[in-house]
Every structure is written in structure tokens, then in C-alpha cells.
Amino acid sequence: MKLLLISNSTNPGEGYLEYPKDRIKEFLGDKANNAIFIPYAAVTFSFDEYEERVNARFAEIGHHVTGIHRFINPVEAIENADAIVVGGGNTWQLVKMLQEKGLMKVIRKKVKKGTPYIGWSAGSNIACPTLRTTNDMPIVEPLKFKTLKLVPFQINPHYLDDHPANHGGETREVRIREFIEVNRDIYVVGLRESTMLLVEDDGMELIGPRKARIFKYGQEPMELSNEDDFSFLLQRK
């Protein structure tokens, strides 16, 4: 498999997909002439607008995507894709639409056979076994929580260490600890902004200047950098 799982699309003061664009270019190489973009996580703007926004950045790195919403047969579009790109937004809506259109299994099968997969935010979250570590409000109800299970661990995109002043609610770490309390055999990767995970075959590495925070029941959270080996997270039981 080839996966590029990106925490976020935009850093403060930067343009859309500015910081990961060179990694995306390197990841896709020059063989992704038919890259299919899945914009289903968009809520407050149209799929056409989303496709246009992504293509404005991809044009700078010599690539182009076509939104899956333009195809009469979306399953066939995935089957013929050279690469699959899944944008961020609301994970619940993304999952619901993928399920309703029968695309979960065909994407999984296609990626398992080697088709490159790029996702950011919600697009990274659905590469996991379920959507249960998303940060989004459940604005719609999917058929089930299961997602692509391209990796055996969970990702929490946009992971934050901060506890805002005058806020008495749970931190992100507290919520993840609740998850691992009832899902004791599953690792959760807190993927901080400006970082991404690159998966190639049986290896995985962190890309970016910040560390990832790794959670597992019964263990103290680990802070791993881009110099550490992340491959242990790919081991399936």
C-alpha cells in the first residue's frame, strides 16, 4: 500500500495545501494521470468549489484531480483511478456518502492493490478502522462507524495539547483516554498539525517538524518524532 495521511490542509498564515504540496508531488510521482478526488466532506461549499480549490494547488505541482461527483458511475471511477484523494471537512457526512454510494469496499480493494491514497483531516481519519476518533460534530448519521481499515490504528487529526483558558471541559487527551479505556487493543495516533504519516508497504514514517502522540491502554502516551520507527503500529492482530 501507499498512503499519505495528512493531519490538516492549512496552517495559519499559509494558503490551502501549501505545506504538504511538495510531499504530495513526491508521493504521486508522474504516473497519476487519473486522480479521483472525493469532496463529500464539504458541507458549507459545493463539491465543484472544493474540486477547484484542490486543483488550484495541484496545478502548481503538475497534477490534476477530477471530482467523483462528476461521474455517473462512481464505483467505476474508483476502479479506473490512478490515485485516490480524499479531502477534509465533516467526517460523518463523508462516511455516510461513501457508504450510501457503495464506495468503501471498492476504495479499500483498490488501495490494497497499490493505488496511492492521499487524505487530509477527515480523509486521514477514514483510513482507520472506524471514524470514532474524529473531532467533528455528527451532523448526519452514517449506516455504521466502520471505515476503510487501511491501517489497524486510529488517527486523531489536528491533535491539540492546549487546554484553553476559562474552559473546564475535556482536553483532547482526556477524550482519547476515554476511547482507549473501552477500546483497549487499539492504538490512537494524535497527529499534530503540519505533520503527516507516510505508509509504504510494511513501513511507516512521520513527516513534519512536530512529534506525534501515541496512546494505548495501560501505557503512558509516547512522543515519537520523524526520526522514530512507526512500523509497529501497522502490526495487525
CATH label of the domain that carries residue 222: 3.40.50.880
User: Which residues are designated catalytic?
Assistant: 121, 136, 158
Residue among 183, 7, 1 at smallest CA distance from 110: 1
Mean pLDDT value across residues 128-145: 97
Which residues form the domain of 200?
2-234
199-222: average pLDDT: 96
How many structural domains compose the chain?
Answer: 1
Q: How far is CA 49 from the centre of its chain?
A: 20
pLDDT at 28 over 80: yes
pLDDT mean across residues, the chain = 95
Percent of all residues in the chain with a pLDDT value above 70, rounded to a whole number: 97
* pLDDT tens string 42-99: 999 999 999 999 999 999 999 999 999 999 999 999 999 999 999 999 999 999 999 9
Instruction: Convert 185-233 into a string of H (helix), E (strand) and C (coil).
Output: CCCEEEECCCCEEEEECCEEEEECCCCEEEECCCCCCEEECCCCCCHHH
Task: Please tell me the predicted confidence (pLDDT) of residue 164.
Answer: 63
Query: Taking residues 201-216, what's their average pLDDT?
Result: 96
